[in-house]
Structure 1
Amino acid sequence: MAARAPRPRLSFTLVALSCALSVALPVALTGCDTAAKPEPAKAPPDKTAEPTPPTPPTPPPVATREGPGWLDGQVIKDAMERAGVHKVKLDVGEDGALRYIAVYHDDAAAIPEAVVKARPAEFADAEVVTYEREHYADIGPVHEVELKTKDGRECEYSAKPDGALVYTECKLDAKDVPPAVLKGVSDRVGGGEPVVKEAELTTRADGSEEYGIVVDHEGAELKFYVDKDGGVSRALHRIPAVVSVPYKG
């Protein structure tokens, strides 16, 4: 009887063949290298999920009101360049914000033609005394023309650069200030008869009126804006100041 071939050699051949075939087969065979297995398929993305919202931009830092600030550049330019500059006025709120700035000058060439033509008919024959370049926080830039009328009144009109009239204003004698207005000032300073230094009546373009009353009170110069019924809308302490601008001579 013929001798059989050794089993170990046959077993080795089958294992090797099985491993070679496993590369092409979808199922791994026992005894093969697991590194040859195909990777499992990835699940498709979930299209129902909401997209991630974009990151909002970082807001700019909040500006503070501390320390020196800036004045209207055109007003300062006028103060440096206009002929006959003789006064600058500032009006500041409690928070330090500028409400108003004006440069008084004698430079007729700085007044726009539209403002010249906006002169009210009641001042047609009045003589020009001086000019102002003003900037209000709530109105913007305006030009003011101060006049002296034929009958001796000191008046002015204010208009925007495009000629739109803002207000007219005339000075009053203290005796012509209505009693209700004087009482409103007296009540505001704690009683007594106010010593009026200046008084003026402002008539706005919409027809509304307001009195400006300057008084001496306990060594201070105060200005009050008062309606005809004595209601005080603003009270200011007027303080002399020195304003320096660059010299271009």
Structure 2
Amino acid sequence: MFETCPKEAPFLSHTGELFKQVDGVAMGSLLGVLFANMYMAHVKEKDFQHHSTPGLYARYIDDIFITSSTDEDANSLMTALQNNSFLTFTCERSNQRRLPFSDLEITKDENDFRTKVYTKATNIRRCLIARGEFTAAYKLSVAAAYINGVVTHCNSWTEAHRKFDCIRQLLTNSGYPDHMIGGLIKKKLVQYTTPAQTLDSQGHMITIYHRNNYHDRYRKNVMPLKVT
């Protein structure tokens, strides 16, 4: 089963031919991210048995963010990671205390980090046109993705408000109505500042995830919660 799910399950090409993955995990397989995380956790565990832990270590799949006192420390860790895996790593250092990491831009202050949405210089600031031949739900998800990125990536309200203004202008230029943009921003901020919570039988606070995040098959079986 372990071999069959990620590799041997055939997939259909646009020409109608069936193909089978012979190396690695099939593109688009949900198991790909799971296996990648498991492997990188194993590599980290092996590496830190013989290497000192950096001041800060954060990882998204195989992208790793660390802080180090010297270039030698960073190079030493990179070499150790390569020796304990079959991967080849490259190293990008901060420039003027700033570093892009995935879709974040991280800035180092004296005692803390500031984060915001990273926008490449080549970004022409266009998005899906609202009058295009797409479903309403898809258009809504496009706008929501921009707004959700601000809420999750900006750790200062000043930067968040600045980015909201940029996104509002971008979506307006693309034909999205003002009431939809404002409603989405309000909804995301409410979800972020007041997460849905309730108490369990022992009086402990627990988080109840929004039912829209459930899979369709599971959502039908979820009974409404009653809090007394």
State the TM-score, normalized to the length of structure 1. Answer: 0.25
More strand per residue: 1 or 2? 1
State the TM-score, normalized to the length of structure 2. Answer: 0.27
More helix per residue: 1 or 2? 2
Structure of greater Rg: 1
